[in-house]
Structure 1
Amino acid sequence: MRIASAAVLAPVAIYLVYRGGWAFTGLVMLAAVLMTYEWARLVRGSHLNADYIIHAVTAIVSIGLAGADKPLLGLLAALAGVMLALVVVILRGQGRRWPMIGFPYILLPCIAIVWLRSGGEWGMLTLYWLLAVVWATDIMAFVAGRTIGGPKLAPRFSPAKTWSGLLGGMAGAAVAGAATSLILDLDVAVLLALISGGIAVIAQIGDIAESALKRYAHVKDSSHLIPGHGGVLDRVDGLIFAAVAAALAALIGVLTEQGQGIGLGVFVV
């Protein structure tokens, strides 16, 4: 079931990254709404409440603005959603505010991914590179952790993760980065391998963060939306952290005028 689900979902994601535009933005919107449902389930124990509705509507609006080439307005819309949800929490007299973290946790990566894809061909290649790095990280971390084992990486939050798994994931990501450079004939294999290794660390942090959230909620999976895989958050926990890191790097390149446009081109100037 796990392999069958991946065989269906992965080609769809790869194709929509290629298409870009509103087809890809729609995919990200759908993913954001589903992740919002899972977040509400984890931190509240239910999803049919005002918080979920505000969060879901904010996700659609903010990602839609980013897809319309207005990422700054998208960020402002996300901030407005946070403020509105916080007001609702205060008016209810609820003491716990930390569930508001769900807004940046979900919306920032989604806006970042849509913004990266808006960079034309380089944006498309950036997302393909990012997917390859994250997938390589997950696969090699699993293989190394299972075959080598050893000291635990973060036993309090994710008992199954090991230092050998982290190093294996970094190695897999580095190979994916170097391969990307060779395939695109960029002649920066070493640089992109180092960057990809760093992205692997960030992706693993995202994985551990989601594991900590599930331990808080006393559940094994964020949901059962994807047969054999659990929930959407379970599948993209590393990607959402990695996407923000890649977008920040691209933004720095744009602001310092060291890159042509946005995306992978920033890394290879």
Structure 2
Amino acid sequence: MRPVDDAAHPLSGPAQHDTPSAAKKAGVSNLVLRVVSAAVMAPIALGVAYWGSWPFAVFWAAAGIAVLWEWITLVAGRDHKLMLSSCGGAVAVAAVLAWRERPLVALLIVALGALASSIVAPRKDRFWILAGIAYAGTMMLAPIVLRGEEWLGFIAIVLIFTIVWTTDVLAYFTGRAIGGPKLMPSVSPKKTWSGAIGGTLGAIIAAVLVAALFGGLNKTAIAGLALVLSVLSQAGDLLESHVKRHFGAKDASTLIPGHGGVMDRLDGFWAAVVAACLIGLLRGGLDAPARGLLLW
């Protein structure tokens, strides 16, 4: 499908003819909605991360299913009950297995859900449906696997939240303040190199402060980790923008005021947490992924 042009997007409607003053007011209103939504969601996410155990698994299972619903709706429209039930059920069961420290079995269940949905998916949509299940499944599994270790698991999640949120906020404000060359205009016309660099530098500083707060962490290693995860977070944001433009959508959904959908809110987190989980698994194994991520 041909990527949609922002200026001609049907969702923009009369906005093409808005005065600069009206556009500015709309931008301010949207920013206020974003701030209010973030002020509500961030404490909930941190509280659930601190609690851990089954509430954390339920939280991320719900997020994974919401992302799956948004993705399948983008690809196949709203007539997708059979596909959503087959792979959504697999994501829910996989969350329970991951919480019970059976990550490999959980991954297998997600794969089986993907296989079941591919059978009923139209041939033209099959690749995108499988990609969506992989996207939602890994978004659900990675944080649960990392949070499995009590205290270090909590620190790992807080560190990733800090990197992603700081990158997002500072990239937005730095880009607006400085402007300059666009990062990838064909995918996301508003993102700039200045915003990307500002977000990454801010994430490095914030990550080092978190390392100092909790103590016992190698600050140089954490700074390097923040650099990698911040860059990947922005890549995840661009990837999701590419998917939306491919299917002619402005937002994944309207579930979160000012942010669009759950997928819009978690695109950067998905890339960062999956990468962090892989690093942790490579260094700490299935028994200690958070330790492998944090202790260098």
Which whole-Å deviations, capped at 9, do the CAs of 1:174-219 have from their partners, x for residues lacking one?
0111111211223522221121011000000100011111112222
Amino acid aligned to 1:77: I
Report if the CA contact (8 A) 2:244-2:252 is conserved: yes
Q: Quick one: distance in 2 between partners of 1:218 and 1:8? A: 29
Q: Quick one: distance in 1 between partners of 2:282 and 2:244? A: 33
Q: Quick one: distance in 1 between partners of 2:288 and 2:244? A: 38
Which blocks of at least 5 consecutive residues in structure 2 are unaligned?
Answer: 1-32
Report if the CA contact (8 A) 1:122-1:262 is conserved: no
Superposition RMSD in Å: 1.7
Report if the CA contact (8 A) 2:73-2:80 is conserved: no
Which whole-Å deviations, capped at 9, do the CAs of 1:11-52 have from their partners, x for residues lacking one?
111100000011111111111111111111211122543212
Q: Per-residue deviation at 1:264?
A: 5.0
Q: Quick one: distance in 2 between partners of 1:70 and 1:33? A: 19
Q: Quick one: distance in 1 between partners of 2:95 and 2:151? A: 20
- Specify which of 261, 265, 289 is matched with residue 262 of structure 1: 289
Amino acid aligned to 1:39: W
Q: Quick one: distance in 1 between partners of 2:106 and 2:115? A: 14
110-119 or 180-189, which deviates more: 180-189
Q: Quick one: distance in 2 between partners of 1:102 and 1:137? A: 24
Report if the CA contact (8 A) 1:125-1:264 is conserved: no
Which blocks of at least 5 consecutive residues in structure 1 are unaligned?
Answer: none
1:86-105, aligned counterparts within 5 Å?
Answer: 86-89=118-121, 94-99=123-128, 100-105=130-135
Q: Per-residue deviation at 1:86?
A: 1.6
1:103-114, aligned counterparts within 5 Å?
Answer: 103-114=133-144
Q: Secondary structure at the match of 1:247?
A: helix
Aligned residues: 263
TM-score of the pair, normalised by structure 1 = 0.93
Which residue of structure 1 aligns with residue 61 of structure 2?
29
Amino acid aligned to 1:22: W
The alignment status of 1:164 with 2:194, answered yes or no, reads: yes
Amino acid aligned to 2:189: P
Q: Quick one: distance in 2 between partners of 1:199 and 1:125? A: 15
- Specify which of 103, 112, 119 is matched with residue 71 of structure 1: 103
Amino acid aligned to 2:66: L
1:1-269, aligned counterparts within 5 Å?
Answer: 1-46=33-78, 48-89=80-121, 94-99=123-128, 100-186=130-216, 188-255=218-285, 261-264=288-291, 266-269=293-296
TM-score of the pair, normalised by structure 2 = 0.85
Amino acid aligned to 1:218: G
236-245 or 210-219, which deviates more: 210-219
Report if the CA contact (8 A) 2:34-2:257 is conserved: yes
Which whole-Å deviations, capped at 9, do the CAs of 1:53-82 have from their partners, x for residues lacking one?
212111101111101111111000011111
